[in-house]
Structure 1
Amino acid sequence: MTSDLTLREHLDAHGLAAKKSFGQHFLLDLNVTRKIVRFAGPFEGRAVIEVGPGPGGLTRALLESDAGKVVLVEKDPRFIPLLTELDDGSGRLTIVEADALKVREAELTEGPTHLVSNLPYNVGTALLIKWLTGPWLPHSLTLMFQKEVAERVVARPGDDAYGRLAVISQAVCEAKLMMHLPAAAFTPPPKVASAVVHLVPKAERPSAQMLKHLERVTAAAFGQRRKMLRSSLKQLGGAELCERAGIDPEDRAEVIDLNGFLRLARASAGETPPAEPATDGPTLMRRKKA
Structure 2
Amino acid sequence: MWGPAMGLPPRLALSVLAGSGRSYILESGAATRKGWLARTRRGFSEIHPQPLCDTDFEYAPAWAARARPEPTYHIINDKLARNIARDILGQENPSRQLIIECNPGPGILTKALLRTGAKVVVFESEKLFIPHLKSLWKNGDGELQVVHCDLLRLDPRSKEPVRADFTSHAVFQDLGIEPVPWSAGVPMKIFAILPNKHERRVLWKILFDLYSCESIFRYGRVELYLFVSEKEFRKVTATPERPDFYHVLGVLWQVACKIKFLHTEPGSSFNVYPEYGNLEKSKQGELLKVSRKNSLYLVRLTPRRNLFTEHLNPMTYETFFHMVKHCFGKRNAPIIQHLRSLSLLDPLTILRQARRKPSEVVVKLHPYDFKKLFETIQCSEDSVFKWVYEDSLEDIEL
Task: Classify the TM-score, shorter chain.
Answer: 0.7 to 0.9
**Structure of greater relative contact order (alpha carbons < 8 Å, 6+ residues apart):** 2
Q: Do 1:181 and 1:194's aligned partners in 2 also have CA atoms closer than 8 Å?
A: yes
Per the alignment, residue 80 of structure 1 pairs with 130
Give distance in 2, aligned partners of 1:192 and 1:221.
32
Q: What is the one-letter code of the residue matched to 1:200? A: T
* Superimposed CA distance per residue, residues 161-185 of structure 1 (whole angstroms, 9 cap, x where no aligned partner): 2222222222222111110112232
CA spacing shift, 1:127–1:237, aligned 2, 3 Å: closer
Give distance in 2, aligned partners of 1:82 and 1:126.
32
Q: Does residue 293 of structure 2 align to residue 195 of structure 1?
A: no
Q: Do 1:229 and 1:238's aligned partners in 2 also have CA atoms closer than 8 Å?
A: no
Q: Do 2:114 and 2:142's aligned partners in 1 also have CA atoms closer than 8 Å?
A: no
- The percentage of aligned residue pairs carrying the same residue is 24
Per the alignment, residue 145 of structure 1 pairs with 228
Q: Do 2:127 and 2:148's aligned partners in 1 also have CA atoms closer than 8 Å?
A: yes
Q: Does residue 99 of structure 2 align to residue 24 of structure 1?
A: no
Q: Does residue 327 of structure 2 align to residue 221 of structure 1?
A: yes
Q: Within 5 Å, give how 1:166-181 maps onto structure 2.
A: 166-181=250-265
Aligned CA RMSD, in angstroms, stands at 3.1
CA shift at 1:199, angstroms? 2.1
CA shift at 1:229, angstroms? 3.4
Give distance in 2, aligned partners of 1:30 and 1:127.
31
Q: Do 1:154 and 1:166's aligned partners in 2 also have CA atoms closer than 8 Å?
A: yes
Q: Do 1:144 and 1:196's aligned partners in 2 also have CA atoms closer than 8 Å?
A: yes
Name stretches of at least 5 consecutive residues in structure 1 with no aligned partner.
1-18, 274-290
In structure 2, the residue corresponding to 1:208 is in which secondary structure? coil
CA shift at 1:153, angstroms? 2.2
Q: What is the one-letter code of the residue matched to 1:72? A: V
Give distance in 1, aligned partners of 2:133 and 2:71.
19
Q: Within 5 Å, give how 1:157-168 maps onto structure 2.
A: 157-159=240-242, 160-168=244-252
In structure 2, the residue corresponding to 1:93 is in which secondary structure? strand
Alignment length (residue pairs) = 253
Per the alignment, residue 132 of structure 1 pairs with 210
Within the candidate set 253, 268, 278, 2:362 is matched to 253
Q: Runs of at least 4 residues of structure 1 off by over 6 A?
A: none
Q: Do 2:221 and 2:305's aligned partners in 1 also have CA atoms closer than 8 Å?
A: no
* Superimposed CA distance per residue, residues 86-131 of structure 1 (whole angstroms, 9 cap, x where no aligned partner): 2329782112222323242654424611112222232441354145
Per the alignment, residue 120 of structure 1 pairs with 195
Give distance in 1, aligned partners of 2:222 and 2:347.
35
Q: Within 5 Å, give how 1:42-57 maps onto structure 2.
A: 42=90, 43-44=92-93, 45-57=96-108
Q: What is the one-letter code of the residue matched to 1:203? A: R
CA shift at 1:198, angstroms? 1.2
In structure 2, the residue corresponding to 1:88 is in which secondary structure? helix
CA spacing shift, 1:227–1:144, aligned 2, 3 Å: same
Per the alignment, residue 285 of structure 1 pairs with none
Give distance in 2, aligned partners of 1:54 and 1:234.
52
Per the alignment, residue 156 of structure 1 pairs with 239
Q: Do 1:49 and 1:72's aligned partners in 2 also have CA atoms closer than 8 Å?
A: yes
Give distance in 2, aligned partners of 1:201 and 1:156.
18
Q: Do 1:229 and 1:242's aligned partners in 2 also have CA atoms closer than 8 Å?
A: no
Which one is further off, 76-85 or 229-238? 229-238
In structure 2, the residue corresponding to 1:205 is in which secondary structure? coil
CA shift at 1:197, angstroms? 0.5
Q: Does residue 371 of structure 2 align to residue 262 of structure 1?
A: yes
CA spacing shift, 1:57–1:128, aligned 2, 3 Å: farther
CA spacing shift, 1:231–1:24, aligned 2, 3 Å: farther
Q: Do 2:102 and 2:191's aligned partners in 1 also have CA atoms closer than 8 Å?
A: yes
Q: What is the one-letter code of the residue matched to 2:360? A: D
Give distance in 1, aligned partners of 2:224 and 2:335.
32
Which one is further off, 209-218 or 44-53? 209-218
Structure 1 length-normalised TM: 0.74
CA shift at 1:145, angstroms? 0.8
In structure 2, the residue corresponding to 1:95 is in which secondary structure? strand
